[in-house]
Amino acid sequence: MSDSETDLGPNSKSAFDTKVGIVITERSAERVCGRAPVDGNTQPYGIWHGGATAALVETLGSVGAVEHAGPARRAVGTELNVSHLRSVRSGWVHGVATALHLGASSAIYRVDLTDDDRRLIASGRLSCRILG
């Protein structure tokens, strides 16, 4: 892990995130950045899998919601939607989750995913409930 990469924090990096290869490079309640490799996350046709898109969107948004919730509370996803816009066959998929709403009991993030050439490949939205 390089100096610019962080893990997902205590008790927040799942075996699934590790298997997908998700790396968080920036984290705050307002903005979370990360990436995952295309290699190992493709469908049988050799392109980035839509399930990997959903996983990356949910992980990035959830990390932001956990940051917003703070140590005394927790965040759980309540709604996820994704629009797939372009396929990718190699390299990395990069994601930026941007907070749209940070409330007392909810957090909502828009998550845009791009390829190595910064072309938008998918856009999603994650809603989380803050419990606590």
- Active site (catalytic) residues: 58
CA distances from 37 to 20, 108, 115 (A): 8, 25, 10
- What DSSP character marks residue 77? E
What is the rounded CA–CA span in Å between residue 119 and residue 67?
28
Contacts of residue 68, Cβ cutoff 8 Å, sequence gap at least 6 = 29, 75, 99, 102, 107, 130
